[in-house]
């Protein structure tokens, strides 16, 4: 089914990344895509699928009345477009208060598990020092002297981590990479002890684990306490244009089998010990959205 959706959408709308030309931006949707598995899978310059990618391809297929342009971008460049008021839409977003001033958000489309901390065996004692009978004090950990932390710039890591990482005292501790798919480099640096901690998504850990490339000395601590339930959304530029397209997106994504397929793709990339927890969340989510 996944291949069928992608193939039909690509034939129908010819959405190679920047080749589509349109006269009036009001009559088109310019989609920003981050090349980040499992949310988006990009192959030879074209959107080929992914958990959010198949939803976007479905939207393209179901909206032939408008032209579609899909452009691979990084987080920072994409949000600069929104800051500048350009008419854009994107998917795979975490909803944050700051973003709601720039974007209209869709209804939630995919449950996800929050980002967490990757660390090596050599840092285990440091991590355990901040575990108080199951309550993990991430704030105290991140303020440890001389701690070296790797992050992906422009990414939301959830309200808790975003607030902590935004503090002025944190800046000297951070090593920021600009590309979403640089998480593998961060993890390798943790394994080599060039970083103490990398803040990554569990799917990034799971993907490397699945490929058999996860170093034996790496561990992952998901920060579940950030929120009991977290979701990913589509978003379009704030204003009448964005509100109109979000209303259409909401209508077209009332499709439980498609949402279940998206969740199954996401689950394929999770660490094995988190798959059952995620599937329970998906079952609850789909039951509430029937």
The 10s digit of each residue's pLDDT in 68-85 is 999 887 777 777 888 888
- Name the CA dihedral angle for 93, 96, 98, 99, rounded to a multiple of 10 degrees: 20
233 SS3 class: strand
Mean pLDDT of the region 212-226: 74
212: left (phi over 0), alpha (psi -120 to 50) or beta: left
Query: Of all helices (H) and strands (E), which one includes residue 136?
Result: strand 135-136
* Top-confidence residue, 52 or 210: 52
DSSP state of 17: T
Q: 204, 154, 201: which is closest to 178 by C-alpha?
A: 154
Q: Locate 258 and state its tokens.
A: 């498609």
Q: Whole-angstrom Cα distance, residue 209 to residue 271?
A: 7
Q: Is the separation of the CB atoms in 41 and 33 below 8 Å?
A: no
* Top-confidence residue, 11 or 137: 137
Does 21 score more than 60 pLDDT?
A: no
Confidence tier at 30 by pLDDT (50, 70, 90): very high
Confidence tier at 3 by pLDDT (50, 70, 90): very low
Mean pLDDT of the region 240-255: 95
The per-residue pLDDT of the chain, averaged, comes to 84
pTM of the model: 0.81
Q: Whole-angstrom Cα distance, residue 251 to residue 237?
A: 18
Mean pLDDT of the region 124-143: 89
Does 18 score more than 60 pLDDT?
A: no
- Name the CA dihedral angle for 160, 39, 150, 187, rounded to a multiple of 10 degrees: 130
Share of the chain above pLDDT 70, in %: 87
Length of the chain: 290
């Amino acid at each position: 089914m996944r291949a069928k959706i992608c193939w039909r959408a690509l034939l129908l709308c010819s959405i190679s990344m920047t080749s589509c030309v349109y006269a009036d931006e009001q009559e088109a949707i310019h989609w920003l895509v981050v090349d980040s598995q499992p949310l988006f899978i990009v192959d030879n310059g074209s959107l080929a699928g992914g958990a959010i990618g198949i939803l976007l391809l479905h939207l393209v297929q179901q909206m032939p009345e408008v032209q579609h342009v899909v452009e691979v971008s990084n987080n920072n460049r994409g949000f600069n477009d929104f800051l500048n008021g350009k008419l854009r839409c994107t998917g795979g977003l975490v909803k944050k208060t700051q973003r709601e001033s720039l974007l209209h958000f869709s209804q939630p489309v995919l449950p996800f598990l929050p980002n967490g901390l990757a660390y090596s065996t050599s840092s285990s004692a440091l991590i355990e020092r901040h575990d108080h009978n199951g309550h993990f004090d991430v704030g105290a950990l991140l303020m440890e002297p001389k701690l070296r932390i790797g992050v992906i710039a422009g990414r939301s890591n959830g309200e808790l981590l975003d607030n902590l990482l935004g503090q002025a005292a944190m800046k000297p501790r951070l090593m920021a990479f600009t590309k979403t798919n640089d998480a593998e480099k961060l993890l390798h640096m943790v394994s080599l002890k060039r970083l103490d901690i990398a803040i990554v998504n569990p799917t990034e850990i799971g993907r490397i684990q699945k490929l058999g490339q996860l170093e034996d000395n790496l561990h992952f601590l998901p920060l579940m306490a950030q929120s009991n339930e977290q979701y990913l959304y589509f978003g379009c530029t704030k204003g009448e244009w964005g509100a109109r397209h979000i209303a259409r997106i909401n209508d077209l994504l009332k499709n439980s089998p498609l949402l279940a397929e998206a969740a199954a793709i996401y689950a394929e990339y999770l660490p094995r010990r988190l798959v059952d927890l995620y599937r329970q969340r998906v079952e609850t989510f789909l039951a509430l959205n029937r």
